[in-house]
Chain A
Amino acid sequence: MKKLLSGVTASNGKVEGVARVVVSEADFEAFQEGEILVVKITDPTMVIIMNKSAAIICDIGGIGSHPAIISRELGIPCIVNTKTATTAIKSGMKITIDASGTEGAIYGMD
């Protein structure tokens, strides 16, 4: 596995899955149940895709931000403040998100 990037763990957990980069509302429809949501930052209009997510990765945000609060409620891993998740990760990539420590890491799976 190759480490792609890291950020701040906002909600604990470890998950493998397929990434889906969401840049605009046009990307919502393609989001499948159980995918890993990769987004600059979340907002309330993303409620349906967030509820489908196995994990959430954000470019910005902190442990008190929207994705952090929601992820802890949903019991899914979340890493924020990665700076470049939406450019470093491509939709369809198989990734592992390891949010078990204070620093969370995202790995690309071969």
Chain B
Amino acid sequence: MEWIDQILDNFSSVISQSDPAGWSGGFNYYGFWPYYSKEFLDRLWQAYEKAEEKKLAPADLTRCFLGPLFLRQEIIDIFFFAKSCNYDKEKTLKIATWFKDILVAKCTDDPYGVNSVKILTHDDVAYLMKMFPFRHVEINEAREAAKLIHACEALSWSYYFDWNYWQCFEAYGPYKLPHNHTLLLRAFTDFAPGEVWPHAVNFEPSTVYVYTIYKDVDVKLDFWSHVNTKDNLPAKMTKLLVLEHGKIIDNHEQLIALRKKMEVAAVMQGKRFQQLTFEELKQKEIQTKYYTYKDLFNTLELDWQPTQELLNKVKGKPLLEFKFPAMETIEERKTFWRRLADPRDNYFLQELKQ
């Protein structure tokens, strides 16, 4: 199961960069997920069986997931969920392997997230460069584009939580272009999740795509699609294309207007999120988790919503109390996270067992 090791290596590398002891307050997902891990895995198992029954190949289901980040992290979540409820190991591995096969079908390179997130082929990129109306940009407009990306990311997080935002946002690349240029794409694909946030049902734009080309940068995208670089990206941006709900943003003034609109939306949504009560937060987290699978469940003709029984089950329950072990070094944290997620390792935090 070499692929499991590769996924675990890349996941543990990225999550070990911060010390969980410093994670400030708030809603600790690890203390909540065990409450519904069995029900969620049962639904995934149903989905797996349906796909088999309908003879749908992994490649047929790639369209149900925004991108590799979603699939990579969900594989880790499947492992964690399964250990928290002692889920059948054979079923766990079948579900995870199914997701892995969809992930491999989705990616054109580096599916397990060593240093990129790639879903476009060379031909796709060549076509894009030929046909898309990129504009040359100077530093002021490049900075504006960076602020827009930030505002869109903030809105994604405020709708989807820190742990489901890949329903709406993923960065792709780096795609190497001639003369030491590099293309990155930021895709924001669902700013109107009306089923979870009713006020957002008609939000516009529901999608924003930002294509940026840089010169002479060394940039990598990690397991979580984070852009990592020592270069000043806005300073090295040479070309830009922004699509607001499919409409091309033609000039600097339009870019500023879009940026401001998304900033305000992000602040408003962030406040709505912060004002949720603890009970509302639990409900919203489950609804959001299931919502991110809506496309998959609909394709397989399954109800995508969580059951009312499940939503009732978590009412009145506090977060499970636990402590991360003291971990001074990155290597200690890597080992911890690897063992916690590894389905072949019985190690788990006993307080999180349900």
Contacts and interface: CB of A to CB of B under 8 A. Distances in A.
Interface stretch (B17-25, B86-94, B98-106, B196-204): B17-25
A62 B224 CA distance: 15
Contacts of B222: 64
Interface of B: 14-15, 17-19, 22, 24, 143, 146-147, 149-151, 153-155, 157-158, 222, 224, 226-230, 232-235, 259, 263, 266-267, 269-271, 273-274
20 contacts: A40-B24, A44-B157, A44-B158, A44-B270, A45-B266, A45-B267, A45-B270, A47-B151, A48-B263, A51-B147, A51-B150, A62-B22, A63-B17, A63-B18, A64-B17, A70-B150, A74-B143, A74-B147, A75-B146, A75-B234
Contacts of A41: 24
Contact of A70 (B153, B232, B259): B153
A72 B230 CA distance: 8
Contact of B226 (A44, A51, A69): A69
B150 A47 contact: yes
B165 to A, nearest CB: 10
B227 A50 contact: no
Contacts of B234: 74-75
A27 interface: no
Given A47-B154, A51-B151, A74-B146, A64 B233 contact: no
A48 B146 contact: no
Interface residues of A, number: 24
A73 B15 contact: no
A8 B146 CA distance: 23
A74 B234 CA distance: 7
Contacts of B151: 47, 51
A13 interface: yes
A60 B157 CA distance: 19
B149 A73 contact: yes
Given A47-B267, A61-B18, A64-B18, A72 B150 contact: no
B24 A72 contact: no
A40 B22 CA distance: 11
A50 B153 CA distance: 13
A70 B147 CA distance: 9
